[in-house]
Protein backbone atom coordinates (compact mmCIF):
# COMPACT_ATOMS: atom_id res chain seq x y z
CA UNK A 1 0.00 0.00 0.00
CA UNK A 2 1.40 3.41 -0.97
CA UNK A 3 1.70 6.40 1.29
CA UNK A 4 -1.62 8.32 1.28
CA UNK A 5 -1.23 11.43 -0.70
CA UNK A 6 -2.93 14.62 0.44
CA UNK A 7 -4.19 16.34 -2.64
CA UNK A 8 -3.15 19.99 -3.19
CA UNK A 9 -6.80 21.05 -3.03
CA UNK A 10 -7.22 19.34 0.35
CA UNK A 11 -4.08 21.08 1.60
CA UNK A 12 -5.40 24.37 0.36
CA UNK A 13 -8.77 23.76 2.00
CA UNK A 14 -7.11 22.84 5.27
CA UNK A 15 -4.92 25.93 5.12
CA UNK A 16 -7.94 28.09 4.34
CA UNK A 17 -9.81 26.47 7.23
CA UNK A 18 -6.93 27.21 9.59
CA UNK A 19 -6.80 30.81 8.42
CA UNK A 20 -10.55 31.17 9.05
CA UNK A 21 -10.26 29.63 12.54
CA UNK A 22 -7.34 31.92 13.38
CA UNK A 23 -9.24 34.90 11.98
CA UNK A 24 -12.33 34.06 14.10
CA UNK A 25 -10.13 33.61 17.17
CA UNK A 26 -8.41 36.92 16.45
CA UNK A 27 -11.75 38.62 15.81
CA UNK A 28 -13.21 37.28 19.06
CA UNK A 29 -10.16 38.56 20.91
CA UNK A 30 -9.96 41.78 18.98
CA UNK A 31 -9.69 44.78 21.20
CA UNK A 32 -11.77 47.56 19.79
CA UNK A 33 -10.23 49.91 22.34
CA UNK A 34 -7.01 49.45 24.27
CA UNK A 35 -7.50 47.98 27.73
CA UNK A 36 -6.79 50.14 30.76
CA UNK A 37 -3.27 49.65 32.12
CA UNK A 38 -2.23 47.04 34.66
CA UNK A 39 0.69 44.83 35.56
CA UNK A 40 1.69 42.10 33.09
CA UNK A 41 -0.16 38.80 33.45
CA UNK A 42 1.05 35.24 32.85
CA UNK A 43 0.51 33.00 29.85
CA UNK A 44 -3.01 31.47 29.83
CA UNK A 45 -3.79 32.12 33.51
CA UNK A 46 -3.46 35.90 33.23
CA UNK A 47 -3.31 37.62 36.62
CA UNK A 48 -4.49 34.62 38.63
CA UNK A 49 -1.20 34.47 40.55
CA UNK A 50 -0.42 38.18 40.23
CA UNK A 51 -3.39 39.48 42.26
CA UNK A 52 -2.52 38.76 45.90
CA UNK A 53 -4.91 36.58 47.90
CA UNK A 54 -4.48 38.85 50.91
CA UNK A 55 -4.89 42.63 50.99
CA UNK A 56 -5.69 43.04 47.30
CA UNK A 57 -7.12 46.59 47.84
CA UNK A 58 -3.64 47.86 48.81
CA UNK A 59 -2.07 46.08 45.83
CA UNK A 60 -4.63 47.69 43.48
CA UNK A 61 -3.99 51.06 45.10
CA UNK A 62 -0.24 50.72 44.54
CA UNK A 63 -0.67 49.56 40.92
CA UNK A 64 -2.98 52.54 40.35
CA UNK A 65 -0.17 54.85 41.48
CA UNK A 66 2.46 52.95 39.48
CA UNK A 67 0.44 53.02 36.25
CA UNK A 68 -0.97 56.50 36.97
CA UNK A 69 -4.53 55.35 36.33
CA UNK A 70 -7.65 55.07 38.47
CA UNK A 71 -8.96 52.30 36.19
CA UNK A 72 -6.92 49.08 35.95
CA UNK A 73 -7.32 45.96 33.87
CA UNK A 74 -6.68 42.35 34.91
CA UNK A 75 -7.88 38.98 33.76
CA UNK A 76 -7.92 35.67 35.54
CA UNK A 77 -8.34 32.62 33.32
CA UNK A 78 -9.70 34.93 30.58
CA UNK A 79 -12.28 36.50 32.93
CA UNK A 80 -11.69 40.25 32.58
CA UNK A 81 -11.63 42.33 35.74
CA UNK A 82 -11.75 46.11 35.86
CA UNK A 83 -10.66 47.74 39.11
CA UNK A 84 -11.95 51.22 39.88
CA UNK A 85 -9.76 53.09 42.33
CA UNK A 86 -11.52 56.47 42.38
CA UNK A 87 -14.97 57.85 43.07
CA UNK A 88 -14.91 59.55 39.66
CA UNK A 89 -14.27 56.26 37.84
CA UNK A 90 -17.11 54.59 39.77
CA UNK A 91 -19.55 57.41 39.06
CA UNK A 92 -18.60 57.49 35.36
CA UNK A 93 -18.86 53.76 34.83
CA UNK A 94 -21.31 52.47 37.41
CA UNK A 95 -23.71 55.39 37.84
CA UNK A 96 -23.71 57.06 34.43
CA UNK A 97 -23.34 53.88 32.39
CA UNK A 98 -25.00 51.65 34.97
CA UNK A 99 -26.98 49.58 32.45
CA UNK A 100 -23.72 48.12 31.10
CA UNK A 101 -22.61 46.93 34.51
CA UNK A 102 -25.78 45.77 36.22
CA UNK A 103 -25.60 42.21 34.95
CA UNK A 104 -23.83 39.40 36.78
CA UNK A 105 -22.51 36.06 35.68
CA UNK A 106 -24.51 32.98 36.61
CA UNK A 107 -23.40 31.80 40.04
CA UNK A 108 -23.94 28.09 39.58
CA UNK A 109 -22.27 27.06 42.83
CA UNK A 110 -24.40 29.48 44.85
CA UNK A 111 -27.51 28.20 43.07
CA UNK A 112 -26.52 24.67 44.09
CA UNK A 113 -26.05 25.90 47.62
CA UNK A 114 -29.64 27.17 47.60
CA UNK A 115 -29.26 30.88 46.77
CA UNK A 116 -31.13 30.63 43.45
CA UNK A 117 -33.78 33.26 44.21
CA UNK A 118 -31.65 35.87 45.97
CA UNK A 119 -31.36 39.38 44.50
CA UNK A 120 -27.63 39.64 45.18
CA UNK A 121 -26.94 36.76 42.83
CA UNK A 122 -29.65 37.31 40.21
CA UNK A 123 -28.62 38.23 36.67
CA UNK A 124 -30.03 41.37 35.04
CA UNK A 125 -33.47 40.13 33.96
CA UNK A 126 -37.18 40.83 34.53
CA UNK A 127 -36.91 38.53 37.57
CA UNK A 128 -34.03 40.57 39.00
CA UNK A 129 -35.89 43.83 38.38
CA UNK A 130 -38.94 42.40 40.11
CA UNK A 131 -36.85 41.43 43.16
CA UNK A 132 -35.27 44.88 43.25
CA UNK A 133 -38.72 46.45 43.17
CA UNK A 134 -39.90 44.17 45.98
CA UNK A 135 -36.86 45.08 48.09
CA UNK A 136 -36.42 48.72 47.15
CA UNK A 137 -39.89 49.95 47.90
CA UNK A 138 -40.20 49.04 51.62
CA UNK A 139 -36.69 50.35 52.35
CA UNK A 140 -36.89 53.63 50.43
CA UNK A 141 -35.58 56.72 52.23
CA UNK A 142 -39.12 58.03 52.71
CA UNK A 143 -40.34 54.78 54.27
CA UNK A 144 -37.66 53.60 56.66
CA UNK A 145 -38.93 55.72 59.55
CA UNK A 146 -41.52 53.00 60.24
CA UNK A 147 -38.68 50.83 61.56
CA UNK A 148 -37.40 53.42 64.01
CA UNK A 149 -39.21 52.15 67.10
CA UNK A 150 -37.91 48.65 66.38
CA UNK A 151 -34.38 49.99 65.92
CA UNK A 152 -34.61 51.91 69.20
CA UNK A 153 -35.95 48.91 71.12
CA UNK A 154 -33.26 46.61 69.73
CA UNK A 155 -30.54 49.19 70.46
CA UNK A 156 -31.66 49.44 74.08
CA UNK A 157 -31.64 45.66 74.34
CA UNK A 158 -28.16 45.60 72.84
CA UNK A 159 -26.71 48.17 75.21
CA UNK A 160 -28.40 46.55 78.21
CA UNK A 161 -26.87 43.23 77.13
CA UNK A 162 -23.44 44.88 76.83
CA UNK A 163 -23.78 46.40 80.29
CA UNK A 164 -24.86 43.09 81.80
CA UNK A 165 -22.26 40.93 80.03
CA UNK A 166 -19.48 43.21 78.74
CA UNK A 167 -17.26 40.27 77.89
CA UNK A 168 -19.95 38.97 75.56
CA UNK A 169 -20.40 42.23 73.66
CA UNK A 170 -19.70 40.56 70.34
CA UNK A 171 -22.39 37.93 70.88
CA UNK A 172 -24.84 40.66 71.87
CA UNK A 173 -23.97 42.54 68.70
CA UNK A 174 -24.49 39.44 66.58
CA UNK A 175 -27.94 38.93 68.10
CA UNK A 176 -28.73 42.58 67.50
CA UNK A 177 -27.67 42.62 63.84
CA UNK A 178 -29.85 39.59 63.08
CA UNK A 179 -32.72 40.78 65.28
CA UNK A 180 -33.29 44.01 63.31
CA UNK A 181 -33.46 42.36 59.90
CA UNK A 182 -35.33 39.28 61.20
CA UNK A 183 -38.02 41.50 62.64
CA UNK A 184 -38.21 43.64 59.51
CA UNK A 185 -38.39 40.67 57.18
CA UNK A 186 -40.36 38.09 59.19
CA UNK A 187 -41.71 39.88 62.26
CA UNK A 188 -39.78 37.49 64.50
CA UNK A 189 -38.44 38.69 67.84
CA UNK A 190 -34.86 37.45 68.39
CA UNK A 191 -34.68 38.31 72.08
CA UNK A 192 -31.78 36.16 73.31
CA UNK A 193 -28.28 35.41 72.09
CA UNK A 194 -29.08 31.70 71.93
CA UNK A 195 -32.17 32.09 69.75
CA UNK A 196 -32.25 29.41 67.02
CA UNK A 197 -32.07 32.07 64.27
CA UNK A 198 -28.70 33.37 65.42
CA UNK A 199 -27.18 29.97 64.63
CA UNK A 200 -29.31 29.64 61.49
CA UNK A 201 -28.03 32.90 60.07
CA UNK A 202 -24.44 32.24 61.19
CA UNK A 203 -24.43 28.81 59.55
CA UNK A 204 -25.81 30.21 56.27
CA UNK A 205 -23.30 33.09 56.31
CA UNK A 206 -20.42 30.73 57.06
CA UNK A 207 -21.41 28.25 54.34
CA UNK A 208 -21.70 31.07 51.79
CA UNK A 209 -18.52 32.91 52.66
CA UNK A 210 -16.44 29.72 52.58
CA UNK A 211 -17.74 28.57 49.18
CA UNK A 212 -14.87 30.23 47.29
CA UNK A 213 -14.84 33.34 45.13
CA UNK A 214 -18.36 33.88 43.72
CA UNK A 215 -18.40 32.79 40.08
CA UNK A 216 -14.84 31.48 40.34
CA UNK A 217 -15.18 27.75 41.03
CA UNK A 218 -14.95 24.95 38.48
CA UNK A 219 -18.75 24.49 38.67
CA UNK A 220 -19.28 28.14 37.69
CA UNK A 221 -16.79 27.94 34.85
CA UNK A 222 -18.11 24.61 33.48
CA UNK A 223 -21.76 24.31 34.65
CA UNK A 224 -22.38 20.73 33.34
CA UNK A 225 -19.85 19.61 35.97
CA UNK A 226 -22.72 19.90 38.44
CA UNK A 227 -24.13 16.61 37.12
CA UNK A 228 -20.92 14.65 37.82
CA UNK A 229 -20.44 12.65 41.03
CA UNK A 230 -18.87 14.95 43.61
CA UNK A 231 -16.25 12.38 44.74
CA UNK A 232 -14.35 12.79 41.47
CA UNK A 233 -10.95 14.46 41.83
CA UNK A 234 -11.03 18.25 41.38
CA UNK A 235 -14.71 18.57 42.32
CA UNK A 236 -14.22 19.73 45.89
CA UNK A 237 -16.42 22.78 45.23
CA UNK A 238 -19.30 20.57 44.11
CA UNK A 239 -18.95 18.37 47.19
CA UNK A 240 -18.85 21.52 49.32
CA UNK A 241 -22.14 22.68 47.80
CA UNK A 242 -23.81 19.29 48.42
CA UNK A 243 -22.50 19.08 51.99
CA UNK A 244 -23.45 22.64 52.97
CA UNK A 245 -26.70 23.17 51.13
CA UNK A 246 -28.78 22.37 54.21
CA UNK A 247 -27.55 25.54 55.98
CA UNK A 248 -28.95 27.77 53.24
CA UNK A 249 -32.11 25.70 52.77
CA UNK A 250 -32.80 25.97 56.52
CA UNK A 251 -32.24 29.73 56.39
CA UNK A 252 -34.98 29.94 53.75
CA UNK A 253 -37.38 27.23 54.91
CA UNK A 254 -37.56 27.53 58.70
CA UNK A 255 -38.51 31.25 58.74
CA UNK A 256 -40.76 30.89 55.70
CA UNK A 257 -42.67 27.88 57.07
CA UNK A 258 -43.01 29.79 60.36
CA UNK A 259 -44.63 32.73 58.52
CA UNK A 260 -47.01 30.38 56.66
CA UNK A 261 -48.01 28.76 59.95
CA UNK A 262 -48.67 32.15 61.51
CA UNK A 263 -50.88 33.12 58.56
CA UNK A 264 -52.89 29.92 58.99
CA UNK A 265 -53.28 30.64 62.68
CA UNK A 266 -54.48 34.15 61.88
CA UNK A 267 -51.39 35.80 63.42
CA UNK A 268 -50.50 38.92 61.47
CA UNK A 269 -47.67 41.44 61.63
CA UNK A 270 -46.47 44.20 59.31
CA UNK A 271 -43.29 42.38 58.27
CA UNK A 272 -41.98 42.15 54.70
CA UNK A 273 -43.00 38.51 54.29
CA UNK A 274 -46.44 38.85 55.87
CA UNK A 275 -47.27 41.79 53.60
CA UNK A 276 -46.27 39.87 50.50
CA UNK A 277 -47.95 36.62 51.55
CA UNK A 278 -51.17 38.46 52.37
CA UNK A 279 -51.13 40.19 48.99
CA UNK A 280 -50.46 36.86 47.28
CA UNK A 281 -53.32 35.11 49.10
CA UNK A 282 -55.76 37.95 48.52
CA UNK A 283 -54.98 38.02 44.78
CA UNK A 284 -55.47 34.26 44.66
CA UNK A 285 -58.83 34.56 46.41
CA UNK A 286 -60.05 37.22 44.05
CA UNK A 287 -58.78 35.33 40.99
CA UNK A 288 -56.27 38.09 40.18
CA UNK A 289 -52.84 37.24 38.72
CA UNK A 290 -49.85 37.43 41.04
CA UNK A 291 -46.71 39.23 39.82
CA UNK A 292 -44.50 37.06 41.97
CA UNK A 293 -44.37 33.42 43.04
CA UNK A 294 -44.06 31.99 46.53
CA UNK A 295 -40.42 31.16 45.68
CA UNK A 296 -39.81 34.87 44.95
CA UNK A 297 -41.26 35.81 48.34
CA UNK A 298 -39.18 33.20 50.13
CA UNK A 299 -35.97 34.24 48.33
CA UNK A 300 -36.34 37.97 48.82
CA UNK A 301 -37.14 37.67 52.54
CA UNK A 302 -34.02 35.53 53.06
CA UNK A 303 -31.98 38.08 51.07
CA UNK A 304 -32.73 40.69 53.73
CA UNK A 305 -31.19 38.51 56.43
CA UNK A 306 -28.10 37.48 54.51
CA UNK A 307 -27.39 40.94 53.01
CA UNK A 308 -28.30 42.95 56.08
CA UNK A 309 -26.95 41.18 59.16
CA UNK A 310 -23.23 40.52 58.62
CA UNK A 311 -22.70 43.94 57.00
CA UNK A 312 -24.31 45.76 59.95
CA UNK A 313 -22.37 43.62 62.42
CA UNK A 314 -18.99 44.34 60.76
CA UNK A 315 -19.70 48.08 60.60
CA UNK A 316 -20.41 48.18 64.34
CA UNK A 317 -17.44 46.00 65.30
CA UNK A 318 -15.19 48.44 63.41
CA UNK A 319 -16.88 51.33 65.25
CA UNK A 320 -16.17 49.76 68.66
CA UNK A 321 -12.56 49.13 67.67
CA UNK A 322 -12.13 52.71 66.46
CA UNK A 323 -13.61 54.15 69.66
CA UNK A 324 -11.25 52.04 71.72
CA UNK A 325 -8.21 53.08 69.65
CA UNK A 326 -9.17 56.77 69.44
CA UNK A 327 -10.26 57.92 72.92
CA UNK A 328 -10.09 61.60 71.93
CA UNK A 329 -12.66 61.00 69.15
CA UNK A 330 -14.88 59.09 71.59
CA UNK A 331 -14.67 61.91 74.14
CA UNK A 332 -15.47 64.58 71.54
CA UNK A 333 -18.59 62.69 70.42
CA UNK A 334 -19.69 62.24 74.04
CA UNK A 335 -19.32 65.97 74.68
CA UNK A 336 -21.51 66.66 71.63
CA UNK A 337 -24.15 64.13 72.72
CA UNK A 338 -24.21 65.38 76.30
CA UNK A 339 -24.66 68.97 75.12
CA UNK A 340 -27.51 68.05 72.77
CA UNK A 341 -29.34 65.44 74.85
CA UNK A 342 -28.21 65.84 78.44
CA UNK A 343 -28.08 62.92 80.84
CA UNK A 344 -31.78 62.51 81.66
CA UNK A 345 -32.80 60.55 78.58
CA UNK A 346 -31.47 58.27 75.85
CA UNK A 347 -30.92 59.46 72.25
CA UNK A 348 -33.86 59.44 69.87
CA UNK A 349 -34.01 59.53 66.09
CA UNK A 350 -34.90 63.24 66.10
CA UNK A 351 -31.51 63.88 67.74
CA UNK A 352 -29.39 62.13 65.13
CA UNK A 353 -29.40 64.79 62.44
CA UNK A 354 -28.14 67.41 64.88
CA UNK A 355 -25.24 65.23 66.02
CA UNK A 356 -22.83 66.45 63.36
CA UNK A 357 -19.67 64.97 64.82
CA UNK A 358 -21.36 61.59 65.31
CA UNK A 359 -22.25 61.64 61.62
CA UNK A 360 -18.62 62.35 60.76
CA UNK A 361 -17.65 59.31 62.83
CA UNK A 362 -20.17 57.15 60.93
CA UNK A 363 -18.79 58.37 57.61
CA UNK A 364 -15.16 57.86 58.62
CA UNK A 365 -16.08 54.41 59.93
CA UNK A 366 -17.51 53.50 56.50
CA UNK A 367 -14.11 53.97 54.91
CA UNK A 368 -12.78 51.06 56.95
CA UNK A 369 -15.54 48.63 55.95
CA UNK A 370 -14.25 47.71 52.52
CA UNK A 371 -17.11 46.00 50.75
CA UNK A 372 -16.48 44.64 47.30
CA UNK A 373 -19.30 44.69 44.80
CA UNK A 374 -20.65 41.38 43.61
CA UNK A 375 -18.91 40.42 40.35
CA UNK A 376 -20.69 41.64 37.23
CA UNK A 377 -20.42 39.99 33.82
CA UNK A 378 -17.45 42.18 33.22
CA UNK A 379 -16.22 42.00 36.75
CA UNK A 380 -15.56 45.47 38.09
CA UNK A 381 -14.18 45.94 41.54
CA UNK A 382 -14.69 49.30 43.14
CA UNK A 383 -11.81 49.75 45.49
CA UNK A 384 -13.47 51.73 48.29
CA UNK A 385 -10.25 51.37 50.26
CA UNK A 386 -8.25 53.20 47.56
CA UNK A 387 -10.93 55.86 47.08
CA UNK A 388 -10.62 56.86 50.69
CA UNK A 389 -6.81 56.74 50.74
CA UNK A 390 -6.39 59.17 47.86
CA UNK A 391 -3.76 61.72 48.97
CA UNK A 392 -5.16 64.21 46.44
CA UNK A 393 -8.47 64.17 48.31
CA UNK A 394 -7.47 63.40 51.91
CA UNK A 395 -4.63 65.05 53.80
CA UNK A 396 -3.88 62.17 56.18
CA UNK A 397 -5.61 59.27 54.43
CA UNK A 398 -4.45 56.52 56.80
CA UNK A 399 -5.60 58.20 60.02
CA UNK A 400 -9.01 57.63 61.58
CA UNK A 401 -10.02 61.26 61.59
CA UNK A 402 -13.70 62.27 61.63
CA UNK A 403 -12.42 65.85 62.09
CA UNK A 404 -11.35 65.90 58.43
CA UNK A 405 -15.00 66.59 57.47
CA UNK A 406 -15.34 69.73 59.61
CA UNK A 407 -16.08 72.50 57.08
CA UNK A 408 -13.46 75.11 56.26
CA UNK A 409 -15.90 77.79 57.44
CA UNK A 410 -15.61 76.24 60.92
CA UNK A 411 -11.84 76.09 60.80
CA UNK A 412 -11.66 72.46 59.59
CA UNK A 413 -10.26 70.86 56.45
CA UNK A 414 -13.64 70.42 54.75
CA UNK A 415 -12.58 67.17 53.09
CA UNK A 416 -15.01 65.29 50.83
CA UNK A 417 -17.52 62.92 52.43
CA UNK A 418 -16.77 59.33 51.49
CA UNK A 419 -19.14 57.65 49.04
CA UNK A 420 -19.54 54.19 47.61
CA UNK A 421 -19.78 52.12 50.74
CA UNK A 422 -23.18 50.88 49.60
CA UNK A 423 -22.15 50.43 45.99
CA UNK A 424 -23.01 52.44 42.92
CA UNK A 425 -25.47 52.36 40.04
CA UNK A 426 -28.36 50.01 39.54
CA UNK A 427 -27.24 47.39 42.04
CA UNK A 428 -26.66 49.85 44.87
CA UNK A 429 -27.65 48.47 48.29
CA UNK A 430 -31.44 48.78 48.75
CA UNK A 431 -31.00 48.55 52.53
CA UNK A 432 -28.71 51.59 52.88
CA UNK A 433 -31.18 53.92 54.63
CA UNK A 434 -32.31 51.24 57.05
CA UNK A 435 -28.67 50.36 57.73
CA UNK A 436 -27.58 53.96 58.30
CA UNK A 437 -30.41 54.50 60.78
CA UNK A 438 -29.52 51.32 62.66
CA UNK A 439 -25.83 52.18 62.80
CA UNK A 440 -26.42 55.82 63.85
CA UNK A 441 -28.78 54.85 66.66
CA UNK A 442 -26.35 52.28 68.05
CA UNK A 443 -23.42 54.71 67.87
CA UNK A 444 -25.39 57.47 69.61
CA UNK A 445 -26.76 55.22 72.37
CA UNK A 446 -23.45 53.49 73.06
CA UNK A 447 -21.54 56.76 73.25
CA UNK A 448 -24.22 58.34 75.39
CA UNK A 449 -24.19 55.54 77.97
CA UNK A 450 -20.92 53.59 77.76
CA UNK A 451 -17.19 54.18 77.87
CA UNK A 452 -15.29 51.93 75.52
CA UNK A 453 -11.71 51.26 76.55
CA UNK A 454 -8.77 48.86 76.11
CA UNK A 455 -9.13 45.54 77.93
CA UNK A 456 -7.69 45.31 81.40
CA UNK A 457 -4.23 43.72 81.28
CA UNK A 458 -2.20 41.84 83.94
CA UNK A 459 -1.35 45.19 85.59
CA UNK A 460 -5.07 45.68 86.32
CA UNK A 461 -5.14 48.71 84.02
CA UNK A 462 -6.47 49.20 80.47
CA UNK A 463 -3.70 47.90 78.22
CA UNK A 464 -3.39 48.96 74.56
CA UNK A 465 -2.45 46.39 71.92
CA UNK A 466 -2.01 46.39 68.15
CA UNK A 467 -5.37 45.29 66.68
CA UNK A 468 -5.26 42.67 63.91
CA UNK A 469 -7.22 42.75 60.67
CA UNK A 470 -8.17 39.99 58.30
CA UNK A 471 -7.48 41.26 54.80
CA UNK A 472 -8.64 38.20 52.90
CA UNK A 473 -11.70 39.20 50.88
CA UNK A 474 -13.34 42.06 52.75
CA UNK A 475 -11.36 43.71 55.53
CA UNK A 476 -12.60 43.01 59.01
CA UNK A 477 -11.02 43.25 62.46
CA UNK A 478 -9.82 40.03 64.05
CA UNK A 479 -11.55 39.10 67.29
CA UNK A 480 -10.55 41.50 70.07
CA UNK A 481 -11.45 42.28 73.64
CA UNK A 482 -12.39 45.62 75.08
CA UNK A 483 -13.88 47.11 78.22
CA UNK A 484 -17.36 48.57 78.20
CA UNK A 485 -18.51 50.34 81.32
CA UNK A 486 -21.60 52.46 81.98
CA UNK A 487 -20.64 56.15 81.94
CA UNK A 488 -22.63 56.67 85.15
CA UNK A 489 -25.18 54.99 87.42
CA UNK A 490 -27.77 57.27 85.87
CA UNK A 491 -26.89 56.09 82.35
CA UNK A 492 -27.13 52.48 83.53
CA UNK A 493 -30.46 53.15 85.12
CA UNK A 494 -31.83 54.77 81.96
CA UNK A 495 -30.79 51.78 79.85
CA UNK A 496 -32.09 49.18 82.31
CA UNK A 497 -35.45 50.93 82.55
CA UNK A 498 -35.76 51.41 78.78
CA UNK A 499 -36.55 47.75 78.12
C1 LIG B 1 -24.01 48.66 57.06
C2 LIG B 1 -24.75 47.79 56.44
C3 LIG B 1 -24.69 47.50 54.96
C4 LIG B 1 -23.68 47.67 54.05
C5 LIG B 1 -22.28 48.23 54.30
C6 LIG B 1 -24.17 47.19 52.77
C7 LIG B 1 -23.44 47.23 51.59
C8 LIG B 1 -23.87 46.67 50.40
C9 LIG B 1 -23.08 46.60 49.20
C10 LIG B 1 -21.68 47.17 49.04
C11 LIG B 1 -23.82 45.96 48.26
C12 LIG B 1 -23.37 45.56 46.84
C13 LIG B 1 -23.62 46.63 45.80
C14 LIG B 1 -23.04 46.21 44.46
O15 LIG B 1 -22.98 45.01 44.14
O16 LIG B 1 -22.62 47.08 43.72
C17 LIG B 1 -25.09 45.61 48.86
C18 LIG B 1 -26.10 44.95 48.20
C19 LIG B 1 -27.29 44.59 48.79
N20 LIG B 1 -27.72 44.94 50.06
FE21 LIG B 1 -26.65 45.97 51.45
N22 LIG B 1 -25.45 46.74 52.92
C23 LIG B 1 -25.83 46.92 54.23
C24 LIG B 1 -27.05 46.62 54.80
C25 LIG B 1 -28.13 46.09 54.14
C26 LIG B 1 -29.43 45.85 54.72
C27 LIG B 1 -29.85 46.21 56.15
C28 LIG B 1 -30.20 45.26 53.75
C29 LIG B 1 -31.64 44.80 53.85
C30 LIG B 1 -32.66 45.54 53.90
C31 LIG B 1 -29.38 45.12 52.56
C32 LIG B 1 -29.78 44.55 51.37
C33 LIG B 1 -28.99 44.41 50.25
C34 LIG B 1 -29.39 43.68 49.04
C35 LIG B 1 -30.71 42.93 48.85
C36 LIG B 1 -28.33 43.80 48.12
C37 LIG B 1 -28.26 43.23 46.70
C38 LIG B 1 -28.66 44.30 45.68
C39 LIG B 1 -28.58 43.86 44.23
O40 LIG B 1 -27.83 42.94 43.93
O41 LIG B 1 -29.28 44.45 43.38
N42 LIG B 1 -28.14 45.64 52.83
N43 LIG B 1 -25.10 46.06 50.15
Residue whose CA is closest, atom 4 of ligand 1?
311
Least confident of 74-83, 143-152, 226-235, 378-387: 378-387
Please tell me the distance from the alpha carbon of residue 30 to that of residue 465, in angstroms, as a whole number. 54
Pocket test for ligand 1, best of 426, 429, 436, 475 (most atoms within 8 A of CB): 429
Please tell me the distance from the alpha carbon of residue 205 to that of residue 177, in angstroms, as a whole number. 13
Residue whose CA is closest, atom 24 of ligand 1?
308
Backbone φ and ψ of 455, nearest 5°: -70, 155
Alpha helices in 210-235 (DSSP H): 218-221
Residue whose CA is closest, atom 30 of ligand 1?
431
> Is residue 1 pLDDT above 60, yes or no?
no
| Structural domain spans, the chain | 34-498
pLDDT digits (tens, 9 = 90+) for 147-171: 999 999 999 999 999 999 999 999 9
Q: Please work out whether the CB of residue 307 comes within 6 Å of at least one atom of ligand 1.
A: yes
Q: Please work out whether the CB of residue 151 comes within 6 Å of at least one atom of ligand 1.
A: no
Residue 32: the pLDDT is: 54
Q: Which residues of 212-231 are buried (b: 16+ CB within 10 A; e: fewer)?
A: bebbbbbbbbeeebbeeebe
- Picking from 417, 442, 414, 439, the residue whose alpha carbon sits closest to that of residue 429 is 439
For the segment 309-338, the average pLDDT, to the nearest whole number, is: 97
For the segment 65-91, the average pLDDT, to the nearest whole number, is: 86
Q: CB of 133 within 8 A of CB of 154?
A: no
* DSSP conformational letter for 291: S
Q: Please work out whether the CB of residue 118 comes within 6 Å of at least one atom of ligand 1.
A: no
Least confident of 81-90, 126-135, 360-369: 81-90
Average pLDDT along the chain: 87
Q: Please work out whether the CB of residue 303 comes within 6 Å of at least one atom of ligand 1.
A: yes
Centre of ligand 1 from the C-alpha of residue 312, in Å: 10
Please tell me the distance from the alpha carbon of residue 395 to that of residue 341, in angstroms, as a whole number. 32
ipTM passes above 0.90: yes
Q: Please work out whether the CB of residue 84 comes within 6 Å of at least one atom of ligand 1.
A: no
- Picking from 377, 383, 474, the residue whose alpha carbon sits closest to that of residue 71 is 383
Centre of ligand 1 from the C-alpha of residue 431, in Å: 6
Count how many Cα atoms sit within 13 Å of the Cα of residue 133 in the half-sphere of its side chain: 11
- Picking from 317, 394, 407, the residue whose alpha carbon sits closest to that of residue 357 is 407
Please tell me the distance from the alpha carbon of residue 186 to that of residue 256, in angstroms, as a whole number. 8
- Selecting from 3.60.10.10, 3.40.220.10, 3.40.50.720, 1.10.630.10, what CATH number does the domain 34-498 have? 1.10.630.10
Q: CB of 472 within 8 A of CB of 390?
A: no
Which residues contribute to the annotated binding site for heme? 429
Please tell me the distance from the alpha carbon of residue 380 to that of residue 375, in angstroms, as a whole number. 6
For the segment 466-484, the average pLDDT, to the nearest whole number, is: 87
Residue whose CA is closest, atom 11 of ligand 1?
429
Ligand 1 atom with the smallest distance to the CA of 427 is 41
Residue whose CA is closest, atom 43 of ligand 1?
429
Q: Work out the pLDDT band at 76, boundaries 50, 70, 90.
A: confident
Residue 371: the pLDDT is: 59
Centre of ligand 1 from the C-alpha of residue 304, in Å: 9
Residue 33: the pLDDT is: 64
> Is residue 215 pLDDT above 90, yes or no?
no
Please tell me the distance from the alpha carbon of residue 341 to that of residue 302, in angstroms, as a whole number. 37
Residue whose CA is closest, atom 12 of ligand 1?
373
Centre of ligand 1 from the C-alpha of residue 149, in Å: 22
Cα dist. 242→110, 113, 122, 246, 299 in Å?
A: 11, 7, 21, 8, 19
Amino acid sequence: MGIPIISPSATLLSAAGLVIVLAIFKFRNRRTLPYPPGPPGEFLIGHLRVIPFEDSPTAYLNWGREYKSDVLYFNTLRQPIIVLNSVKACVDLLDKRGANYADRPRFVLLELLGWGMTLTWLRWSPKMQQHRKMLQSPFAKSKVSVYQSLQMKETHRLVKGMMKSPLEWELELRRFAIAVVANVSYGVDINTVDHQWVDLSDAAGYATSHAGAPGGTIVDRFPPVRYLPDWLPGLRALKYAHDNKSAIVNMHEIPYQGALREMEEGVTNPSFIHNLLEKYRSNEKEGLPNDFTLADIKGSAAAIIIAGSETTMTTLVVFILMMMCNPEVQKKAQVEIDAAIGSDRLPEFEDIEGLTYLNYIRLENCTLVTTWNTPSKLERRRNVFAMHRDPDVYSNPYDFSPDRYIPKSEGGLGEAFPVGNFGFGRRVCPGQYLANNTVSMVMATMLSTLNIDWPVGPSGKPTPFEPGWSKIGQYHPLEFQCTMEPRSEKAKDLVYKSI
